[in-house]
Amino acid sequence: MLEISQRTLNMGTENSFVVLDKVNQMLSEGKPVISFCIGQPDFRTPDVINDSAINAINNGKSTYTPSTGIPELRKAVAGYFSRTRKIDVNPNSVVIGCGGKPFILYTIASVTQPGQGHEVIFPNPGYPIYSSQTIAQGAKPVLLPLLEEKKYNFDIFDLKRKMNDKTRLLVINSPQNPTGGVLSKDELYEIAEVVKQFPKCWVLTDEVYSELVFDTEFNSIAAIPGMQERTVILDSSSKTFAMPGWRVGYAANEKLAPHLTRWVTNTDSCAPHLCQCAMVDALNHEKSWEEARKMKKVFHERRDLIVELLNGVPGFRCLKPGGAFYAWPNVTETCKMLGCEDSNVLRERILDELNVACLSDNHFGHRNEGEGEHLRFSYATSTEHIREGVARIKKWVEENRN
């Protein structure tokens, strides 16, 4: 009999895509769906970047490139990382890939050995790929609960307890998906102190939302003395410049760069040539940064709006997230009011009865004991949709609560 490998069967998925399929089906049936599902900016890619890609097409930039990426882009990324992380990043440490996501696989595969009990620690709730790729690569997932009382950061003592000689990788993500939590400089220092006690532990810092920090400044763990060498900095064009479909991401670590590159060679060969060319302009042109800042301002305003509106829904309790474009309300009380067994049942009812789509905490890992039920609202959608979508939920809860 033909068989599917166990590791493939064990691998998780990104449920936002599953819910999105349903949303698209409902839209095609003419239902007035408002979607808070998808984690991609609802803006057009800035024209300066589009024009650059058109030039690249016209200039025949349609070949394979080195798997590391074109030298101009590696240089531009190194400059960007050096400027924004306040460290010295050499272009030779930078690798370009098809989005940020593949570097999660490449890093886990490069630093863990299947069957050796090597452990990867990552935040829970968290971006689901950390878990699915840890499992697929034969390493052991170790979950680090994010706590509401810590503004959705983890307890440093919990990290200390979980680190051991088998720990090969700590993944951190700030600003965070799905909670919007941001790690402060002090917290990063505390994490670094713990990690430094384990010489075999690498750090993957997923910074794809680094340009979307609203109330404070962005800090990277790579900037802490002694950390750059063991840290893979991961970032991408998707969220910063509204380019998720262009598939350009970048990672930097001096020692791992040649190994990440071999992974690129063995999977995608290279990121799309014309997108790489456009990315050079995206990073180097003031005009594209101007556009990025405008988008950030809109996200900031929407953040304030959606948090205020969600807190007006009976039973919802929503902290103000410091970054990214997600709100993560605690909906435990609302579940009780409506007799919903958990947040997933609440989510399904909101979709089926109100045509409002969002995600629930089970899409981002295991529910943390004692932390209650949560939904994730992506506010990468218009102000009108935010007002209308939350108003539908509020009215419905008010009318149906016990």
Ligand X SMILES: Cc1ncc(COP(=O)(O)O)c(C=O)c1O
Is 238 a residue that touches ligand X (CB under 6 A)?
yes
CB of 316 to ligand X, least distance (A): 23
State the pairing for strand pair 375-378/119-124: unpaired
Is 101 a residue that touches ligand X (CB under 6 A)?
yes
> Near ligand X by CB under 6 A, which window of 94-102, 141-149, 192-200, 304-312?
94-102
DSSP category for residue 229: G
Q: Choose between 107 and 173: whose C-beta lies nearer to ligand X.
A: 173
Q: Cα angle at 233 between 15 and 164, to 5 degrees?
A: 80
Q: How many residues bind ligand X (CB under 6 A)?
A: 13
Is 236 a residue that touches ligand X (CB under 6 A)?
yes
- Beta bridge partners, 375, equal 360
CB of 231 to ligand X, least distance (A): 16
Q: Choose between 212 and 346: whose C-beta lies nearer to ligand X.
A: 212
State the pairing for strand pair 167-173/119-124: parallel
Is 39 a residue that touches ligand X (CB under 6 A)?
yes
What DSSP letter does each residue of 243-303 carry, written as one string? -GGG--EEEE-TTTHHHHHHHHHHTTSSS-HHHHHHHHHHHH-HHHHHHHHHHHHHHHHHH
Residue for token pair 């034969």: 138
Q: Choose between 212 and 331: whose C-beta lies nearer to ligand X.
A: 212
Estimate the crossing angle of helix 257-266 against helix 102-111, to 10 degrees. Answer: 120
Near ligand X by CB under 6 A: residue from 177, 220, 261, 288:
177
Q: Choose between 325 and 338: whose C-beta lies nearer to ligand X.
A: 325
CB of 364 to ligand X, least distance (A): 10
Near ligand X by CB under 6 A: residue from 173, 210, 231, 360:
173
CB of 100 to ligand X, least distance (A): 3
Residues 6+ apart with CB under 8 A from 347: 358, 359, 360, 375
Binding site for ligand X (CB under 6 A): 39, 99-101, 127, 173, 177, 206, 208, 236, 238, 244, 249
